[in-house]
A and B are shown apart, each in its own frame.
Chain A
Amino acid sequence: MVVVQWSGLSMTSLGISRSFFTSVSHRAPGRWALAGFHTSAPLGPMFWEKDERSGYKSQLDDVPRLKLVKDGLKMMPSECKKWIEEWKGKLFGDFAMPRPGIPDNVWKFDSAEDLSKWTVTVDADNSEGFSSAELVLSPVGKGLFQGNLCTLVPREGRIKRTGYCAMKSHRLTRSFQRYDTYDWRDYTHLVMRVRGDGRTYMLNLHTAGFYDILWNDMYQYLLFTRGGPHWQYVRIPFSKFFFSSKGRIQDKQFAIQLDRVNSLGIGVGDKINGPFRLEIDYIGVEMDPSYQEEFAYELYTMPKYTTAH
């Protein structure tokens, strides 16, 4: 077992790249050799992420431990059933085969139950602003993400700029609340049917991994909306999604690993004060056999010590 103590001014200066972590968690450790990998004295909290939520409160923080245990026990029967179903599916089920050009639905927005699979977060939740948002059923029975974006900065002085609203699907889990991921390797496009208001939204595909530096990984792309009364079909190749961490675009880019996606988020934070409105019919994935692009951005090697990984 290798014990790594973090040190140094940057991970690049240690000669460690992300691929080390991704390859380990990808069960393909052969690519990486341990030679030249130095360890030295620990350097405090510079890179080590203590908290998966980066210090932001969770709804579960205020729930007493005993209640969590009780609730957990109550879930056992349904989780067991889920587990049995999973194994039935594994042993006797058909394997899913994507049909070229026909989208497979991942998220529907037809009922309150569908909407309960999403969490809406705004800056005001963490006392970082004054925006508000909600995800409700629209008058025509589809998902409606609406609210008011406000870039007013609280006077506490902790932050300098603000204004975001976001909806994020719950992280995919298997039975017993084990983390799971979608496997979209056979698909090439993300498809949606939306009706927006002319604003630009951000799509986030979360690919949180096991290690702390992978916790905040996500792949982003823009969702331009036309505005107007007509529904709009959106079809975005996965290759266009660029890599970012905590919303910061990364110097070193990687193509998205489509078997790692565990959640999707839609955010609005375009610095335009005022109400926003995005109606969503469905979100799905599609396979287009003629689509060949793997990654839309350059992957060339940069000189050492210039790019952060």
Chain B
Amino acid sequence: MGKVGDEEGRYEDDRDETRLSTREYFNRFEEKTKEAFLDAIGGYEEAEKHRRGHVEFIYAALKYMKEFGVMPDDEMGQTLKEIFGKSLSHPQRKYMRMMYWMPKFKNLSPWLLPNPVPTDSLELAKLAMQRIGSVDLQTEVEVFDAGELEDSIDGTWIVSAQSQTQRKLIAKHSTDKPIYVEGAFRIYLRKACLAYFILRAEPEPKPQVDEDADDEPALWCASQMALTVLNRGDCLLHLEVGMLQHIFQWKNPFREVPKEKLLPPVQSSVHEQEDGVILAACATGTSSKDSLLSWIRFLQQTNPRLGDIPVVFSFHSPLGSVVPIELPKDEPEPPSKAEEDVKRLHGGVEGDDPEETLETKMVNFKPIPG
């Protein structure tokens, strides 16, 4: 067996197993197009009047389909019919199965992406931010050029996603509590993997429930559940208190729940999660700390309050492990949580090392034996 390197390599390897004569039908074409693929099949048809080695040829053809950019379609079905006869041959059945199932799932994803996804990392970042922002219909995806800022060192692009709701959340955020720039996290867009960062605030404490009261915990649970239901579909629905009361009272018609005892429904947005309030997300060209600083500066234009809130740049996140960043040589390890670099934005960029570039703008994973 030959070497198996990556995704493409696997096909390479499969081809090694194919007999040279069979491979020749496909390899003699410089240009890998659908026409060339059909010509290759035509070549086999002419050369092998008695269809010798047709099983091997079919396997080879299936392997070359991807390389020639051929997907099953009517024309292919017709070709199969011509070669293998009108009755249901195995290739014909395989084709029928593919044509039955593949179109069903082809465009099934709620977050459709071009196929293949663009190779340009800026275009990818735009797609990624649109996707992350799809949780809120009001999300605006903006592209900034850090070169416009005087203090920027990187001068790279920044794709930022923020909605009106998130701006309002920042506007009412207390200036005593810091907010965090965290990352990098991974997002996959088909085969491409992209690093992104988030702006997060600590969650607001849950409303206190009187444990002694009889039904109250259950009541709160039920109200949360109902809200969960109504928040589903990732869209915010407002719930009226009266409606909640209506839901509970059927449980115990003999007990009158005083109005003041009912908890007010928590009208929270999708961004206010139990593990943090998501205030914005971004991807930058270099994923460097400097580019993130530039991002916050750009956000300040629409969120003036950011100037008063302490912003902490963190390599750790309670939302989960961040991308193990490949630092350039002679680069110290990312600081631990205790050594977090607290920066008040109006305090300038002192101590920001331009070499602190985290090479995560686009992570291409090679298969690593785990």
Which residues from 78 to 125 on chain A have a C-beta closer than 8 Å to any C-beta of chain B? Answer: 101-103, 122, 124
Please measure, in the bound complex, the distance between the C-alpha atom of A153 and the C-alpha atom of B367, giving whole angstroms. 10
A139 touches B229 (CB 8 A): no
- A-B pair number, CB within 8 angstroms: 142
Contact of B111 among A124, A224, A277 (CB under 8 A): A224
Known contacts A198-B131, A275-B365; A147/B370 CB under 8 A? yes
Contact of A229 among B110, B200, B365 (CB under 8 A): B200
Closest to B278 in A: A229
Collect the chain A residues with CB atoms within 8 Å of residue B110's CB: 224, 226
A 59-92 binary contact with B (CB < 8 Å = 1; else 0): 0000000000000000000000000000000000
Contact of B188 among A139, A155, A227, A303 (CB under 8 A): A227
Collect the chain B residues with CB atoms within 8 Å of residue A207's CB: none
Among A124, A199, A200, A228, max chain B CB count under 10 A is at A228
Known contacts A198-B188, A224-B110; A230/B135 CB under 8 A? yes
Please measure, in the bound complex, the distance between the C-alpha atom of A297 and the C-alpha atom of B104, giving whole angstroms. 10
A161 touches B370 (CB 8 A): no
A144 touches B135 (CB 8 A): no
Collect the chain A residues with CB atoms within 8 Å of residue B4's CB: 152-153
Collect the chain B residues with CB atoms within 8 Å of residue A160's CB: 14
Collect the chain A residues with CB atoms within 8 Å of residue B187's CB: 197-198, 227-228
A43 at the interface (CB under 8 A from B): no
Please measure, in the bound complex, the distance between the C-alpha atom of A180 and the C-alpha atom of B191, giving whole angstroms. 40
Chain A residues bordering chain B, tally (CB within 8 A): 50
Collect the chain A residues with CB atoms within 8 Å of residue B7's CB: 151, 271-273
Q: Which of B210-218, B266-274, B292-300 contacts A (4 or more CB under 8 A)?
A: B266-274
Known contacts A102-B225, A157-B1; A249/B101 CB under 8 A? yes
A41 at the interface (CB under 8 A from B): no
B363 touches A274 (CB 8 A): yes
A138 at the interface (CB under 8 A from B): yes
If over half of B's interface residues share one DSSP class (helix, strand or loop), that class is named, otherwise mixed; here it is: mixed
Closest to B129 in A: A228
B 173-198 binary contact with A (CB < 8 Å = 1; else 0): 00000000000011111110100101
Please measure, in the bound complex, the distance between the C-alpha atom of A132 and the C-alpha atom of B367, giving whole angstroms. 12
Closest to A199 in B: B188
A235 touches B232 (CB 8 A): yes
A182 at the interface (CB under 8 A from B): no
B353 at the interface (CB under 8 A from A): no
Collect the chain B residues with CB atoms within 8 Å of residue A272's CB: 7, 188, 190-191, 193, 365
B48 at the interface (CB under 8 A from A): no
B270 touches A230 (CB 8 A): yes
B204 at the interface (CB under 8 A from A): no
A229 touches B318 (CB 8 A): no
Known contacts A222-B108, A230-B132, A233-B231; A274/B193 CB under 8 A? yes
B320 at the interface (CB under 8 A from A): yes
A148 at the interface (CB under 8 A from B): yes
Collect the chain A residues with CB atoms within 8 Å of residue B231's CB: 233
Which residues from 249 to 263 on chain A have a C-beta closer than 8 Å to any C-beta of chain B? Answer: 249, 251
Closest to B5 in A: A152
Collect the chain B residues with CB atoms within 8 Å of residue A239's CB: none
Contact of A130 among B13, B88, B369 (CB under 8 A): B369
B132 touches A228 (CB 8 A): yes
Collect the chain A residues with CB atoms within 8 Å of residue B368's CB: 130, 148, 150, 273
Interface residues, chain B, with chain A CB atoms under 8 Å away: 1, 4, 6-7, 10, 13-14, 88, 93, 97, 101, 104-105, 108-111, 128, 131-132, 134-135, 185-191, 193, 196, 198, 200, 225-226, 228-229, 231-234, 270-271, 273-276, 278, 281, 317-321, 363, 365-370
Q: Which 9 A-B pairs have the closest CB atoms?
A: A132-B370, A274-B365, A228-B132, A130-B369, A227-B187, A198-B188, A148-B370, A140-B275, A273-B367
Interface residues, chain A, with chain B CB atoms under 8 Å away: 101-103, 122, 124, 130-132, 138-140, 144, 146-148, 150-153, 155, 157, 160-161, 197-200, 222, 224, 226-233, 235, 249, 251, 271-275, 277, 279, 297, 303, 306
